[in-house]
Amino acid sequence: MAAVPMSSAKRLRQLLSDPSRMVVAPGVYDGISARLALAQGFECLYMTGAGTNMSRLGMADLGIATFNDMVTNAGMIASINPSVPLIADADTGYGGPIMVARTVQGYARAGVAGLHIEDQVQEKRCGHLAGKQLVEREVFYARIRAAKKAREEIGSEMLIIARTDARAGAGFEEAVERLRGAREAGADALFLEAMQSEEEVRKAVKIFEGTPMLLNMVGGGKTPQMSVKEAKEAGFRIMIWPTLLVEAVISPLKNALRILREEGTHDSCEPIGPRALFEVCGLNELMAFDESVGGKAFGGQEFVLTLARIDPTLRVTTKPILDKARTVEVRRGDLYTAEERERYGGLPNAGAEVASIRLEKKGRYKVLVERDGTE
């Protein structure tokens, strides 16, 4: 009998059980950012609420995203690699205790490994903006108790992280007291948002020693900037970078669009081609799955020959194989129609980066390679 895969929630708890480790989770907001983070080998991801508001709704992080917006995005991200834990922003829980319970169970069923619930009012905003308003302590504790009970009712191991935004308006001591109460209410980990000095950062960890603390690292935010190494040495167990990837794409996208608008070209970037783009999002794995179950739509006899990166001066044809022909690796794919292949008389110039050829079998295929007009 095959072993039952470990749930992502259990995996997150396993990571936190090792006191020598700190969980580092980059903030992802869509399928592409999640795929890129996974490709870099991160052992945990964080679904940023700010990034979800911006990417899915085109809106600032002012509490506009609903439960349905957030759980749908979280479920999509978690499904890309269910073995990698996803921690997700759950804002205020989106209502009273009954709605908090629905949120927790919805996130758990979507594959989320951990979530954080905060003490802002429903008309909330980003934790690093001014003007935040808080609910009373008991309302916050009720949210945490509801989250814990809802998790237990469905037998989930999802991590419940209590977040307080009290530091900004009510002060550090009030924030500490709120987290003490949240821990008593059943929170597994604690998140003191927008600490304003290194002294506060280190003091918070010391106060709650024995309970995993989360550090939110926002570039240009209220909290002093710390590296992963520094945060680990301070005693934090989880570190999230919610705006890192959102900020990383803004300037390049603006520049590419400006050049297209002003100059009518795409000279701002080096095109990698459709296939390389789709490979970022699992093209090869999807095609392999299709073929493994007898599918014909993406496998069979259609293959792609990648040549430009070997040598852009090469020209490849489908002439009879000669002794001087070299063997090149071919990969499945379909870039050209049958009519286009006939028009090209076989394969297009290698300068086109990739070319397609019909093969009778999988694997390697010999083709004639010419350079500078000589065989």
| DSSP annotation of 361 | S
What average pLDDT does range 86-93 have in this prediction?
A: 98
Active site residue 89: yes
Active site residue 323: no
Host H or E run for residue 353: none
Active site residue 118: yes
pLDDT of 353 strictly over 80: no
Tell the residue number behind the tokens 């997150």, with chain if given: 12
Q: Give me Rg for the CA atoms of the chain.
A: 26
What average pLDDT does range 198-209 have in this prediction?
A: 96
pLDDT of 323 strictly over 70: no
pLDDT of 175 strictly over 70: yes
Q: So what's the pLDDT on residue 230?
A: 97
39-43, 271-275, 293-297, 339-343: least confidently modelled range: 339-343
Q: State the average pLDDT for the chain.
A: 82
Q: So what's the pLDDT on residue 189?
A: 98
Active site residue 163: yes
Q: Which of 11, 13, 89, 151 is catalytic?
A: 89
Using a 10 angstrom Cβ sphere, with 0-12 exposed, 13-18 middle and 19 or more buried, the burial of residue 314 is: middle
pLDDT band of residue 278 (cuts 50, 70, 90) is confident
211 near 190, Cβ under 8 Å? yes
Q: Which of 44, 94, 107, 118 is catalytic?
A: 118
CA–CA separation, 114 and 123 (whole Å) = 23
CA–CA separation, 2 and 367 (whole Å) = 44
Amino acid at position 20, single letter: S
| pLDDT (tens digit per residue) in 19-45 | 999 999 999 999 999 999 999 999 999
Integer angstrom CA distances of residue 37 from 42, 131, 282: 6, 33, 13
pLDDT of 153 strictly over 90: yes
10-19, 191-200, 276-285: least confidently modelled range: 276-285
Q: Which of 35, 116, 145, 332 is catalytic?
A: 116
Q: So what's the pLDDT on residue 125?
A: 74
pLDDT of 340 strictly over 60: no
- What are the φ/ψ torsions at residue 310 (nearest 5 degrees)? -75, -50
- What are the φ/ψ torsions at residue 235 (nearest 5 degrees)? 110, 5
Closest CA to 206 of 193, 192, 216, 217: 192
Integer angstrom CA distances of residue 55 from 16, 65, 67: 30, 11, 16
Q: So what's the pLDDT on residue 127?
A: 63
Domains defined for the chain, CATH in brackets = 8-251 (3.20.20.60), 273-371 (no CATH)
Q: Which of 46, 107, 141, 365 is catalytic?
A: 46
What average pLDDT does range 343-362 have in this prediction?
A: 38
Q: Which of 35, 91, 188, 365 is catalytic?
A: 91
More confident residue, 223 or 370: 223
Q: So what's the pLDDT on residue 297?
A: 66
Q: Which of 119, 193, 200, 302 is catalytic?
A: 193
Active site residue 91: yes
Active site residue 344: no
pLDDT of 85 strictly over 70: yes
Q: So what's the pLDDT on residue 273?
A: 80
Q: Which of 143, 167, 178, 216 is catalytic?
A: 216
